[in-house]
Amino acid sequence: MSYKGKKFFITGGTGSLGQAIIKRLLPQGAEVIVYSRDEGKQALLFNGTPVKKVLGDVRDYDKLNTSIRIHKPDYILHTGALKRIDDMEFYPDESIKTNTIGSDNVARAALENNIEKCILVSTDKACKPVNVYGATKFIAERMFTNYDYTSPSTIFASVRYGNVIASRGSFIPLFLEWIKEGKSLELTSEDMTRFLFTLDDAVDAVLGALDYSMGGECFVPQIDSYTLPTVVKALEKISGVKAKTLVKGLRPGEKLHEDMLAETELPFAYQVTNKNLIQIRPQYTQRTHSDSYFKKYNGPHFNSELWVQEDVDSLVTLIEKGLLC
């Protein structure tokens, strides 16, 4: 899809994903409005650029709605969230206010202002959730599906994915720094597996959801997963230093393995043609979902234990690519 002349309203646009999306959109001639509560990062990142800045919080519906009404975007990409899993276990009220109520505010404002498409950026933690962060995002996904069910025109959809290398909060740069400093790497478990991909891959997934959404779906990229010992071996190759490790056990809210496509979602899963992207269609909808760009997905569910890759060299390449994004 060409985004030339299209106007994007991006919540949380000062975050890692927001910045990467903006970097992709501006050269294509798109107009970008960033809505975030971090005035310092807004000034640092966007002063002197074509990006328009709006200081605000998704918790504030009136400010959000007014901003959208004034700027009249074609699309809303809702990337803003509270994401630190262990912290959210101790502040579930704050997680609900931002991740659930904030997402509801975004969807309401999109509906009120007749936005063409509104995309929620979710997380693999929302699939079969066991922690506060995942639970609040799970509800947000369901709200977007429900808004689409009642929407006369605005298309709502979501996209979920795993750990993004070199994003804010990623453990990869932290581990690499610790190895170089001679510190012990604190591993949850040597059996732990995680889906890993780059910021560029994440942008592809978000824009893929925007391009192919027809209403109420959740999109999931097909990406590889790795065990923590494989990650450590890859980081040792990159740094040229032998790592010291210390197994600490599960942190609050952590899973041993992650899910992105549940067994119960398989009957509704379709492969986007020529894309590593799965469309999970809503179980209830008033829209007609065309099969023009899709074929039925007949593979297994996405659990990080099932999709493990042990090729250290390919992970080295992936990490090095991710660190450059």
Instruction: Please give the C-alpha separations between residue 28 and each of 15, 56, 222, 223, in angstroms, as whole numbers.
Output: 21, 26, 26, 26
Which structure tokens are listed for 105?
């505010």
Location of structure tokens 């469309």: 279
DSSP assignment of 178-199: HHHHTPEEEES-TT-EEEEE-H
Q: Virtual CA dihedral for 218, 79, 151, 268, nearest 10 degrees? A: 0
Which structure tokens are listed for 74?
């074609």
Say if CB 240 and CB 119 are below 8 A apart. Answer: no
C-alpha 233/C-alpha 229 separation (Å) is 6
C-alpha 239/C-alpha 9 separation (Å) is 39
Location of structure tokens 């294509």: 28
HSE, side-chain direction, 13 A CA sphere, residue 51 = 29
C-alpha 203/C-alpha 20 separation (Å) is 7
Scored b (16 or more CB within 10 A) or e, 118-151 reads bbbbbbbbbbbbebbbbbbbbbbbebbbbbbeeb
Strands (E), 29-173: 31-36, 52-55, 75-78, 117-121, 155-159, 163-164
Say if CB 234 and CB 315 are below 8 A apart. Answer: yes
Residues carrying an active site annotation:
125
Q: Read off the DSSP letter of residue 157.
A: E
